[in-house]
């Protein structure tokens, strides 16, 4: 029995020490460092309107009104842009379910703007890997300009200027592609005398 105690006691001590370090000290330390250095991100990058949160710049929202920019489709179900169900659909390009979903999204875009002859950008009909992407490409935003201008009785130049003002460059001018945050763009659109 004595040799067993010599093994159990250090194991329990190590378990307690590592639990305190990894379960209490490390999370508190990273929070203490992240909050002053990256305060907005550490708090979820929430967007406030009239002092109330209306969304996050990190998670897409389900805009379906013709007077708003539509984001990238969500792969989360049953609720779109559900952060608890983050993940892609894992459907390959030959999967009939994906092909049907893309066709349905194309049909919805054409039904919302039947006179639009521009090629439909791929990010308007396919979900991102997380299923929560809050960004679209500048081309996807420009594809929607005529519909939004018509719905809001605005000049297309005004809508294009908003897209230009909200287009983010590559991260550190090196990683990714230029992108537009749909929530930020729609809030600017609403604040620009739109509906």
State the pLDDT at residue 1: 61
pLDDT of residue 122 exceeding 50: yes
- Alpha helices of 21-68 — where are they, by DSSP H? 26-37, 39-42
Mean pLDDT calculated for residue range 162-186? 92
Would the pLDDT of 146 be above 90?
yes
Which structural domain, as residue segments, surrounds residue 16?
1-39
Looking at the structure, do residues 115 and 164 belong to the same domain, yes or no? yes
Residues 103 and 160 in one domain: yes
pLDDT tens, 34-71?
889 888 777 778 888 888 888 888 888 889 899 999 99
The whole-number pLDDT of residue 21 equals 97
* pLDDT exceeds cutoff 60 at 193: no
Q: Are residues 148 and 69 in contact, defined by beta-carbon separation less than 8 angstroms? A: yes
Q: Are residues 33 and 86 in the same domain?
A: no
The answer to whether residue 174 scores a pLDDT higher than 90 is: no
Q: Which has more confidence, 137 or 53?
A: 137
Its sign, for the CA torsion 183, 180, 70, 187, is positive
What mean pLDDT do residues 132-152 have? Answer: 94
One domain for residues 20 and 110? no
Residues 89, 183 within the same domain: yes
Q: What is the mean pLDDT of the chain?
A: 88
Looking at residue 163, its pLDDT comes to: 95
Place of tokens 């300009």: 145
**How many distinct structural domains can be found in the chain?**
2
Q: Are residues 158 and 172 in the same domain?
A: yes
pLDDT of residue 85: 76
């Amino acid at each position: 029995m004595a040799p067993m105690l010599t093994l159990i006691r250090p194991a329990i001590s190590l378990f307690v020490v590592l639990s305190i370090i990894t379960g209490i000290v490390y999370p508190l330390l990273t929070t203490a460092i992240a909050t002053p250095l990256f305060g907005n991100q550490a708090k979820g990058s929430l967007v406030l309107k009239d002092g109330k949160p209306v969304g996050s710049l990190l998670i897409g929202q389900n805009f379906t009104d013709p007077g708003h920019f539509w984001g990238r489709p969500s792969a989360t179900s049953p609720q779109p842009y559900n952060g608890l169900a983050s993940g892609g659909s894992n459907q390959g390009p030959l999967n009939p379910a994906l092909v049907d979903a893309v066709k349905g999204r194309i049909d919805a875009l054409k039904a919302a703007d039947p006179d639009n002859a521009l090629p439909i950008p791929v990010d308007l009909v396919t979900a991102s890997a997380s299923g929560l992407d809050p960004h679209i490409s500048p081309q996807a935003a420009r594809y929607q300009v005529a519909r939004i201008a018509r719905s809001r009785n605005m000049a297309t130049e005004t809508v294009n200027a908003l897209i230009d003002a909200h287009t983010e460059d590559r991260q550190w001018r090196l990683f990714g592609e230029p992108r537009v945050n749909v929530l930020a763009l729609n809030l600017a659109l609403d604040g620009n005398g739109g509906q």
